[in-house]
Amino acid sequence: MKIFYNKNKLIKFTHNHKIIGFVPTMGSLHKGHISLIKKSQSECKNTIVSIYINKPQFNNTSDYKRYPRVLKKDISILKKLKVDFLYIPKEKQIYPNGPNKNIKIHSFKKQLCGKFRANHFEAIVDVIDRFIKIINPKKIYMGEKDMQQLKIVDHFVKINHRNVKIIGCKTIREKNGVAYSSRNNLLSSSEKLLASKIFKILLSKKNKILNKSISIDLIKKEIINLNVKKIDYIKIYDINNLLKKNNKVKKYKIFIAYYLGKTRLIDNI
Amino acid sequence: MKIFYNKNKLIKFTHNHKIIGFVPTMGSLHKGHISLIKKSQSECKNTIVSIYINKPQFNNTSDYKRYPRVLKKDISILKKLKVDFLYIPKEKQIYPNGPNKNIKIHSFKKQLCGKFRANHFEAIVDVIDRFIKIINPKKIYMGEKDMQQLKIVDHFVKINHRNVKIIGCKTIREKNGVAYSSRNNLLSSSEKLLASKIFKILLSKKNKILNKSISIDLIKKEIINLNVKKIDYIKIYDINNLLKKNNKVKKYKIFIAYYLGKTRLIDNI
């Protein structure tokens, strides 16, 4: 596995060697990431993974500081997977003139997490835009757990990088049902149990919620009764346009974001 | 020849049909444009030409208003050339949210015309960026008469649209030596004669100027003596990096910008 730390060396390299599959990550790799990487390896002649904790997309410094960092372990996982290239950027080379304050993203941003995390999606789009310009990949693999992120990035890339395709990949779950997330490492064992219970409630009531034979508010109460103190949202949205459920469309998901202690988790079912 | 007026229709079209060669113009087509189009046709499976007078790149409204407009004649020229596609954008569709004020361009902009035309090159880069996102071409053909524009756009596209190539094409000249330019249509016959005289002075003294056996100031005086009232610059620059002549590099050109009446002309020899 060839590791790049220097942006200019990577740019030079990709001018002579076409890199096809790209899996952007913030490290602390789990089975979700691994499934993205394997998908890329199965579809692409070669694959690059990036590990970069993108500071501007965090809404507060403590969340950024708490984010898990296990670089050595990550590198050994990627080596075992026989990933071709790894890019670990230097902070200064990604934002030589600071973040782009002119990023225009789709109005998907106004719903769900966009309401609670100002500028979060703009910052993600900004960094993906920068990575595309450095790597020039053909396909980028992203997880469906972060559905809103996936939709917003896909919309941006369709307009701005017409030769790049975003590939959404199924959410991978732990045995207890909780979607893999680097943030799961921040949970205590009792919090993990809670996350699993919440998943099971949503899963068991899924059909009733979607056909409205049970109200979202009732589910919300049930979750709050588990002693979950903060729920940013539970909503039913069309997965194609992230608009609220109406009767014309058939593909819905339940979207949830909630806190266990200081840790914010999201999921969609 | 298929003519597109609507951006969204063109985007939709180019999602199913790959357009290869692109010649952006502001209309009022002359032999310079025609040579770009023929170059594209000789190299590319198909060619699109755009006609769009890009207001933000003009430094004053009167220059914008004076710019020649002969759309019917242009369309008939393009039909005769058997151009595949023509794009005549609607103003509002190019700048739905106004020009991008965050465009970062190469420091080439500080020399030559950049000194005299604030924001001119940023506005050109902005519109080319927008056209690339709409058309997604493989090659863009631009004339070497506008050498600084060519260099700045090339630099921007290399970084921001890695799958697009800028092709610089030789300057085409009238019999009297004057480089073809849509602005030539604004000249009186005595002004045309003057432009030709200036070209001939530069051409005859070229070698002496480049090896410094005659000074640029002397040439400047000679041109002023022809009753040319305003010369923005006459400079010798390395054509690779648009830096001032030094003894290490061998490829120089003489760059000139001057006014005949209200009409500003540029050339490089």
CATH number, position B202: 3.30.1300.10
Chain A residues with CB under 8 Å of B155 CB are none
Which chain B residue is nearest to residue A129, measuring alpha carbons? B160
Give domain status of residue A89, yes or no: yes
Separation of alpha carbons B184 and A76, rounded Å: 66
Tokens of B230: 């305003």
Asked whether the beta carbons of residue B159 and residue A102 sit closer than 8 angstroms, the reply is no
Whether A150 has a pLDDT exceeding 70, the answer reads yes
> In this predicted complex, what is the ipTM?
0.76
Chain A residues with CB under 8 Å of B106 CB are none
Give domain status of residue B175, yes or no: no
* B153 and B110 housed in the same domain: yes
Q: Which domain holds residue A144?
A: 2-169
Q: Which residue has the higher pLDDT, A178 or B110?
A: A178
Tokens of A223: 């979750």
| Catalytic center residues of A | 33
**Mean of the pLDDT values across residues B12-23?**
96
Tokens of B123: 């506005």
3-state secondary structure A187-218: CCHHHHHHHHHHHHHHHHHHHHHHCCCCCHHH
Global pTM reads 0.86
Average pLDDT, rounded, for chain B: 93
Number of domains in chain B: 2
Give domain status of residue B40, yes or no: yes
Tokens of B68: 């020649």
Most confident residue range from B124-138, B202-216, B238-252: B124-138
* A83 and A7 housed in the same domain: yes
**Mean of the pLDDT values across residues A99-122?**
85
Confidence of residue A249 (pLDDT cuts 50, 70, 90): low
* A53 and A79 housed in the same domain: yes
Can you give the pLDDT at residue A246? 66
Identify the CA nearest to B233 among candidates B219, B246, B247.
B219
Sequence length of chain A is 269
Tokens of B220: 């400047």
* A38 and A118 housed in the same domain: yes
Can you give the pLDDT at residue A41? 98
Give domain status of residue A176, yes or no: no
Burial B159-178 (b: 16+ CB within 10 A, else e): ebbbebebbbbebbbbeebb
A160 touches chain B (CB under 8 A): yes
**pLDDT tens digits, B61-109:** 999 999 999 999 999 999 999 999 999 999 889 999 889 888 888 777 7
CB-facing half-sphere around the CA of A86: CA atoms within 13 A: 22
Can you give the pLDDT at residue B238? 86
Sign of CA dihedral B100, B102, B104, B105: positive
Separation of alpha carbons A122 and A155, rounded Å: 12
Sign of CA dihedral B26, B27, B33, B36: positive
Whether A118 has a pLDDT exceeding 90, the answer reads no
Closest Cβ–Cβ partner in A100, A133, A162 for B159 = A133
* A147 and A260 housed in the same domain: no
Dihedral of CA atoms B86, B91, B93, B94 in degrees, nearest 10, equals 80
* B190 and B220 housed in the same domain: yes
* A43 and A124 housed in the same domain: yes
Q: How far is B99 from chain A (nearest CA, A)?
A: 11
Say which of B30, B33, B106, B120 is annotated catalytic.
B33
Give domain status of residue B41, yes or no: yes
Asked whether the beta carbons of residue A101 and residue B102 sit closer than 8 angstroms, the reply is yes
**pLDDT tens digits, A192-223:** 999 999 999 999 998 898 888 898 999 999 99
